[in-house]
Amino acid sequence: MVQMTTKYLGSLRTKATHLKSGDQLLTDAPVDNNGKGEAFSPTDLVCTALASCMTTLMGIYANKHNIDLTGLQTNIVKVMSKNPRKINEIIIDFKLNDFHESEKHITRLKNAAMTCPVALSLSADLKQTVTFNF
């Protein structure tokens, strides 16, 4: 069991705390939804969580097979719908230069990413568009 807390700070800003580590993060409502956009919005965190989870699962596979993923980067795009206001699509582009592994390992890395807990927890209605450039 993992516990976290959030506190509303006013002005559409929250502070979340991860109780075990004490790490904190702020969220702001985005500019297009009455906010200042000075921090991640809650929907930004959903998209970032998906990319981070995918990267972590790829890292677990890589560690077990002595594959170096150092430098793996993602570009994340969030596409919102207006009515109802929700995330319509998350676009994630993985990039790793000078990566020379077998097709077997590449296929398994991709599978690890696509079956991460966050990907499996999101609604089937949420489009996840993922590309791998390595």
Q: What is the pLDDT along the chain (134 residues), one digit of tens a residue?
A: 999 999 999 999 999 999 999 999 999 999 999 999 999 999 999 999 999 999 999 999 999 999 999 999 999 999 999 999 999 999 999 999 999 999 999 999 999 999 999 999 999 999 999 999 99
The confidence score (pLDDT) of residue 129 equals 98
- Rounded distance, CA 96 to CA 75, Å? 12
Asked whether residue 123 falls in the same domain as residue 74, the answer is: yes
pLDDT at 31: 94
Same domain, 62 and 106: yes
- Same domain, yes or no: 63 and 97: yes
> Are 64 and 122 found together in one domain?
yes
3-state secondary structure of 131: strand
- Residue-level pLDDT at 121: 98
pLDDT score of 94: 98
Going by C-beta distance under 8 Å and a sequence separation of 6 or more, which residues neighbour residue 100?
A: none
Q: Are residues 12 and 46 in the same domain?
A: no
Residue 105 burial (10 A CB sphere; 0-12, 13-18, 19+)? middle
Per-residue pLDDT, 116: 98
Q: What is the pLDDT of residue 38?
A: 95
Same domain, 48 and 82: yes
Please indicate, yes or no, whether residues 94 and 125 belong to a single structural domain of this protein: yes
77 and 18 assigned to the same domain: no
Cα–Cα distance measured from residue 34 to residue 31, given in angstroms and rounded to the nearest whole number: 6
- Looking at the chain, list the stretches that DSSP marks H as alpha helix, in order from N- to C-terminal side: 42-64, 103-114, 117-121
Give the pLDDT score at 4.
Answer: 97
Looking at the structure of the chain, the number of domains it has is 2
Q: What percent of the chain has pLDDT over 70?
A: 100
Q: Could you tell me if 25 and 67 lie in one domain?
A: no
Q: Are residues 58 and 95 located together in one domain of the fold? A: yes
Same domain, residue pair 77 and 129: yes
Measured between alpha carbons, how far is 74 from 52 in angstroms, rounded to an integer?
9
Closest CA to 123 of 80, 86, 94: 86
Give the domain CATH number at 93.
3.30.300.20
Task: Provide the domain limits for residue 21.
Answer: 4-33
Q: Are residues 82 and 107 in the same domain?
A: yes
How far apart CA 48 and CA 122 sit, in angstroms, is: 13
Is residue 22 left, alpha or beta, with left meaning phi > 0 and alpha meaning psi from -120 to 50?
Answer: left
Q: How far apart are CA 127 and CA 64, in angstroms?
A: 30
